[in-house]
Amino acid sequence: MSVHIKAKKGEIAKTVLQPGDPLRAKYMAENFLEDVKLVSDTRNIFYFTGTYRGKEITVGASGMGIPSIGIYSYELFTEYEVDTIIRIGTCGAYTTDLKVFDMLNVESAASESTYAKFAWGIEGEVLKHQGSAYGLINDTAKEYSLPLVSTTIHTSDIFYHKDPGIPAVATKYNCSAVEMEAFALFANAQHLGKNAAAILTVSDVIPTGDQISADEREKALKQMIQLSLETALKLP
């Protein structure tokens, strides 16, 4: 087991699907996987391992923000020898070109965060997805005729703030949306030579105030979950 995940060696699959919310991980495990086993519940951050169409997959939460996903993804990659992590989350759109329920495949994440620099000596404000998962997500979306936007997004450390404008780094790199985790996941994967991708569903459009209601979120996320699972089948 690791410091923050109590699963034993061999109880975490080579591919991990990682929502932020522990209850979303529980929902995925109970509704999409077979032969499911709860392998860790430390700090109520749930990790489940089961099978999807015969392939072993783990689903488990990252928590919110760069520090949290930085910890969990690092321990998964290093302590459990995970090869691929696909983040599954929601985001806020900076542009009216996007609508609620749109799905994004994150090509790159831009951030003001110093995480990559101070953790691994990785310079620069933009990090790309790592490995083959991004391309496989695009291929799978085409195969199932699922609309998908490949884009650069902003990973922010701040949820509540006094300035309603789009941050400078997001404007500089023409970021279409904002979330709080992908940059750290990509940094860890780059440093460790692992695969990392992120699929996001637009939950709100910041300029207009449009948003998905609590009742609509489950429906909105099903398509993203299905896409991640079908993609996982194509991974080694």
pLDDT tens per residue, range 145-167: 999 999 999 999 999 988 878 99
Inter-CA distances, 226 with 40, 54, 67, Å = 23, 15, 27
Half-sphere CA count of 6, side-chain side, radius 13 A: 9
Superfamily of domain 15-232, CATH level 4: Nucleoside phosphorylase domain (3.40.50.1580)
Assess whether pLDDT exceeds 90 at residue 98.
yes
For residue 185, which amino acid is it? L
More confident position, 71 or 214: 71
pLDDT of residue 162: 85
Pairing of strands 84-93, 195-205: parallel
Assess whether pLDDT exceeds 80 at residue 65.
yes
Domain positions in the chain are 15-232
Mean pLDDT confidence for 54-64: 98
For CA atoms 184, 190, 191, 192, give the dihedral sign.
Answer: positive
pLDDT tens per residue, range 14-23: 999 999 999 9
Give the separation between CA 132 and CA 105, rounded to whole angstroms.
13
**Cβ pair 65, 182 in contact under 8 A:** no
**Helical residues (DSSP H) of the chain, grouped into ranges:** 22-32, 66-79, 115-120, 133-143, 168-172, 182-192, 214-232
Exposure string of 115-143, with b = 16+ CB inside 10 Å and e = fewer, is bbeebeeeeebbbebbbbbbebbbebbee
Catalytic residue selected from 139, 157, 204, 210: 204
**Is 204 annotated as catalytic?**
yes
pLDDT tens per residue, range 174-192: 999 999 999 999 999 999 9
User: Average model confidence (pLDDT) for the chain?
Assistant: 96
Give the separation between CA 60 and CA 152, rounded to whole angstroms.
25
pLDDT-derived band at 12, boundaries 50, 70, 90: very high
Mean pLDDT confidence for 196-209: 97
> CB neighbours (10 Å) of residue 174?
12
Comparing CA positions, the residue from 148, 169, 146, 142 lying closest to residue 158 is 169
Give the separation between CA 1 and CA 153, rounded to whole angstroms.
33
pLDDT of residue 82: 98
Is the pTM higher than 0.75? The answer reads: yes
Assess whether pLDDT exceeds 80 at residue 57.
yes
